[in-house]
């Protein structure tokens, strides 16, 4: 009896069980909301049965080799939902759409992709469960933020695929696709930090402003926080500045992991140690402040625009081209000088350039480590100068001491990494 063997197949039973559980997961949320809105469609039993119907129809379609069974079942469900909504309209169509999604989740379980069904089922439940929070979030979206998000999507999914993936210069340094991919990556990280600050608001305090501001731009965050020096106690303010520097070091490690993954174990010593020095100082200053100070008053400009992306692409391309020419014509010392100068204005571009250089030729790993150490050091010194220019001696002193500690940590980490090579 082949059908009996198929029915008792452990994998088949597992997939049916997953389908039932996913339907129940969605149904629990709908059941809970039905208490406050009696006319809301469906509950625990309904959605469990809908998912089970999708699983059975998908299984029968595969067993009999007839996709029409699944299509007919889905069409029947849609017809029943339409009739029910017309006879007794509910507050919206969310329940009916959720039922269709649940049916397809059950079918996905039986189509050889239960893991995808689980991920999508959890995502569906989160979307349903956080209705109020999502509506509040949408109401708080500024039109400028929405335009920035659309521009980011345009740059990622329209512009990027159209760019050539081959070098366009004699030195093989300028690859438009790679340049724009890094633009999208860094802009996405910046936009994520900006959104986090907008969502959390000023009540999250100076420290969170520093953390998420550092994800957007540690230089911009340092400048913005320094301008608040006259009206804020120095310890929490310095902690927030140093928190942004700590996040900057972590962001550099993430970029290294994407551009040259084999370099992460070595780069973690100087870059991680630098971030650790800043992080320890930030925590110490925060605890010494005795209390959380809210209302940082830091306003970050929307971090993404096609103009700023183009400027970064140009900067990155120039740095990479100069590095390639310098490397071929003058030598390593000139390249290190370029790293120091470029890092003073933007650590990301020279970081990506140096570690892409190491990715192309692993023998340049030591040079890349030294270059990024110089770039981060010059970037730290420039940001210290921003703090000093604020005129708050207490803030400048705390930041300078922490900078020395971080640079000492980074130098020690660089020495360890070079010795390990």
Which pLDDT score, from 0 to 100, does residue 61 have?
Answer: 92
Non-local (6+) Cβ contacts of 58 within 8 A are 70, 106, 107, 108, 109, 110, 111
Q: Which of 136, 167, 193 is the last residue of a domain?
A: 136
CA distance linking residue 225 with residue 212, whole number of Å: 13
Q: What percent of the chain has pLDDT over 90?
A: 22
Shared domain for 69 and 206, answered yes or no, is no
Shared domain for 367 and 279, answered yes or no, is yes
Checking if the pLDDT of 118 tops 50, the result is yes
Shared domain for 61 and 87, answered yes or no, is yes
Shared domain for 226 and 373, answered yes or no, is yes
| 51 CB burial (10 A radius; 0-12, 13-18, 19+) | buried
Q: Are 315 and 239 in contact (CB under 8 A)?
A: no
Helix ranges restricted to H, 330-392:
332-345, 347-360, 365-388
Q: Using 50, 70 and 90 to split pLDDT, how confident is the model at 127?
A: confident
Q: Are 396 and 387 in contact (CB under 8 A)?
A: yes
Checking if the pLDDT of 47 tops 70, the result is yes
Shared domain for 383 and 277, answered yes or no, is yes
Q: Give the pLDDT mean for 328-337.
A: 65
DSSP string, 12-23: HHHHHHHHHHHH
- pTM, rounded to two decimals: 0.54
Shared domain for 397 and 324, answered yes or no, is yes
Shared domain for 148 and 129, answered yes or no, is no
Residue ranges making up the domain that contains 303:
141-420
Q: Give the pLDDT mean for 31-58.
A: 80
* Rg (the chain; Cα; Å): 28
Low-confidence winner among 274-283, 346-355, 406-415 (lowest mean pLDDT): 346-355
CA distance linking residue 281 with residue 283, whole number of Å: 6
Q: Give the pLDDT mean for 220-245.
A: 76
Q: Which of 136, 160, 177 is the last residue of a domain?
A: 136
Query: What are 143-168's pLDDT values in tens digits?
Result: 777 777 787 788 888 888 898 888 88
CA distance linking residue 381 with residue 33, whole number of Å: 56
Low-confidence winner among 77-81, 231-235, 259-263, 295-299 (lowest mean pLDDT): 295-299
Q: Give the pLDDT mean for 101-106.
A: 93
Shared domain for 184 and 122, answered yes or no, is no
Query: What are 171-215's pLDDT values in tens digits?
Result: 776 888 877 876 776 667 556 656 655 666 544 556 777 887 777
Which pLDDT score, from 0 to 100, does residue 351 have?
Answer: 76
Shared domain for 149 and 132, answered yes or no, is no
Which pLDDT score, from 0 to 100, does residue 309 have?
Answer: 59
Token pair listed for 399: 């930041």
Shared domain for 161 and 99, answered yes or no, is no
Shared domain for 109 and 238, answered yes or no, is no
**Domains identified in the chain, total number:** 2
**Which residue, among 275, 256, 238, has the nearest Cα to 355 in the 3D structure?**
256
Checking if the pLDDT of 170 tops 60, the result is yes
Number of Cβ within a 10 Å radius of residue 145: 16
| 285 CB burial (10 A radius; 0-12, 13-18, 19+) | buried
Which pLDDT score, from 0 to 100, does residue 74 have?
Answer: 92
Q: Which of 70, 102, 136 is the last residue of a domain?
A: 136
- The average confidence (pLDDT) of the chain is 78
CA distance linking residue 249 with residue 235, whole number of Å: 21
Query: What are 75-102's pLDDT values in tens digits?
Result: 999 988 888 777 777 666 778 888 999 9
Shared domain for 102 and 222, answered yes or no, is no
Query: What are 341-352's pLDDT values in tens digits?
Result: 777 666 776 777
Number of Cβ within a 10 Å radius of residue 230: 10
Q: Give the pLDDT mean for 105-112.
A: 91
**Which residue, among 163, 185, 405, 371, has the nearest Cα to 285 in the 3D structure?**
405
């Amino acid at each position: 009896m082949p059908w009996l063997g198929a029915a008792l197949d452990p994998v088949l039973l597992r997939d049916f069980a997953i389908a039932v559980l996913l339907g129940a997961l969605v149904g629990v949320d709908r059941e809970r909301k039905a208490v406050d809105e009696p006319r809301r469609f469906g509950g625990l039993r309904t959605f469990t049965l809908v998912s089970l119907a999708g699983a059975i129809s998908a299984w029968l379609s595969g067993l009999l080799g007839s996709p029409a069974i699944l299509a007919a079942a889905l069409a029947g469900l849609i017809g029943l939902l339409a009739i029910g909504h017309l006879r007794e309209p509910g507050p919206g169509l969310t329940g009916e759409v959720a039922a269709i999604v649940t049916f397809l989740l059950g079918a996905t379980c039986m189509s050889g992709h239960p893991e995808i069904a689980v991920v999508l089922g959890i995502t569906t439940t989160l979307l349903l469960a956080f209705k109020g929070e999502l509506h509040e979030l949408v109401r708080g979206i500024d039109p400028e933020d929405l335009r920035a998000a659309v521009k980011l999507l345009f740059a990622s999914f329209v512009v990027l695929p159209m760019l050539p993936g081959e070098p366009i210069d004699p030195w093989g340094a300028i690859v438009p696709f790679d340049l724009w991919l890094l633009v999208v990556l860094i802009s996405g990280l910046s936009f994520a930090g900006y959104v986090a600050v907008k969502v959390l608001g000023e009540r999250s305090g100076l420290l969170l402003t520093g953390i998420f501001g550092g994800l957007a731009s540690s230089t911009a965050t340092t400048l913005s926080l320094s301008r608040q020096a006259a009206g804020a106690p120095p310890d929490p303010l310095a902690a927030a500045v140093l928190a942004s520097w700590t996040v900057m070091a972590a962001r550099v490690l993430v970029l290294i992991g994407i551009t040259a993954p084999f370099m992460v174990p070595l780069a973690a010593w100087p870059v991680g140690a630098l971030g650790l020095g800043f992080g320890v100082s930030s925590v110490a200053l925060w605890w010494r402040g005795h209390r959380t100070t809210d209302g940082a008053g830091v306003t970050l400009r929307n971090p993404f625009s096609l103009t700023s992306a183009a400027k970064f692409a140009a900067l990155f391309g120039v740095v990479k081209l100069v590095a390639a020419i310098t490397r071929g014509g003058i030598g390593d010392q000139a390249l290190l000088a370029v790293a120091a100068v470029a890092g003073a204005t933007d650590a990301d571009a020279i970081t990506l350039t140096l570690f892409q250089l190491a990715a192309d030729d692993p023998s340049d790993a030591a040079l890349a480590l030294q270059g990024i150490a110089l770039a981060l050091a010059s970037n730290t010194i420039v940001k210290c100068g921003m703090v000093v220019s604020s005129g708050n001696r207490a803030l400048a002193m705390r930041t300078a001491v922490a900078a020395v500690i971080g640079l000492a940590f980074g130098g020690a980490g660089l020495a360890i990494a070079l010795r390990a090579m």
